[in-house]
Structures are given as C-alpha cells and as structure tokens.
C-alpha cells in the first residue's frame, strides 16, 4: 500500500538530521576510525536512498524536484550492494557537501505540502 509522499520526505529529513548529529564535532580522521559512526551514517544514507526510490515510484513529479535524486538512489545501492568496498572519504564528502542541500530541498517540499 502506497504511503503519503510526505512520509518519504519526512524520512529523508529525519535521516539527514541523524547523520548531521552523528558527525557533528568530528573530522574525517575520527569518522574513519569509528566503525560505529560510519555504520550509522551509511545506514541513514540507505534510508534516504530507499525513501527517494519509493518516492520516485509513487510521486515521480515530486521526486524530480529533488536535484540529483537518481544519484542519491544509486549511492544507496552502492552502499547496500558494495558494502565490502565502501569509500569512507566519499561518504564523508557527501555528508559534508551534498547532504545539507538535500535536507534543505526536502524541507522546502514538506513545507509546500503543508508539513512543518
């Protein structure tokens, strides 16, 4: 049964917020050295990618409003299926550079749809 598209957007925001909390006040060296943190970050990126994947199937016009949504889904697939060869520096860069923008766009869409 399809979910309300707002639920997927909310999932993305929640996962993005969690990632930002997990990596607050640490640097790349500390991130790479802590398997608990990078496992948690990777899991939340998997949730973001899966939520976008479902959103793209159920509300494609809405998903297309998220820049590079297909790349986010592909990143999720790499994390899931290429788990043995995860590049922690790449995950870190995405968390630092791309995630804030994704979070902002997603929140804007939620606001437009009438969700805080």
Q: With contact defined as beta carbons under 8 Å apart, do 19 and 45 qualify?
A: yes
Q: What is the pLDDT of residues 66-111, one digit of tens each?
A: 999 999 999 999 998 887 788 999 999 999 999 999 999 999 999 9
Q: What percent of the chain has pLDDT over 70?
A: 97
- Which residue in the block uniquely carries the two structure tokens 């969700």? 115
Confidence of residue 115 (pLDDT cuts 50, 70, 90): low
Q: By C-alpha distance, which of 72, 77, 79, 68 is closest to 16?
A: 72
Domain range enclosing 39: 5-112
3 to each of 17, 72, 106, how far by Cα in Å? 21, 20, 17
| Structural domain count, the chain | 1
62 to each of 81, 88, 108, how far by Cα in Å? 27, 30, 12
């Amino acid at each position: 049964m399809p979910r309300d598209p707002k639920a997927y957007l909310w999932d993305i925001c929640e996962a993005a917020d969690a990632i930002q909390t997990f990596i607050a006040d640490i640097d790349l060296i500390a991130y790479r050295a802590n398997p608990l943190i990078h496992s948690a970050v990777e899991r939340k990126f998997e949730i973001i990618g899966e939520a976008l994947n479902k959103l793209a199937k159920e509300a494609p016009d809405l998903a297309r409003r998220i820049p590079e949504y297909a790349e986010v889904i592909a990143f999720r697939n790499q994390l899931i299926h290429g788990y043995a060869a995860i590049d922690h520096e790449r995950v870190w860069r995405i968390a630092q550079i791309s995630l804030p923008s994704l979070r902002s766009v997603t929140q804007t869409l939620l606001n437009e749809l009438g969700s805080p």
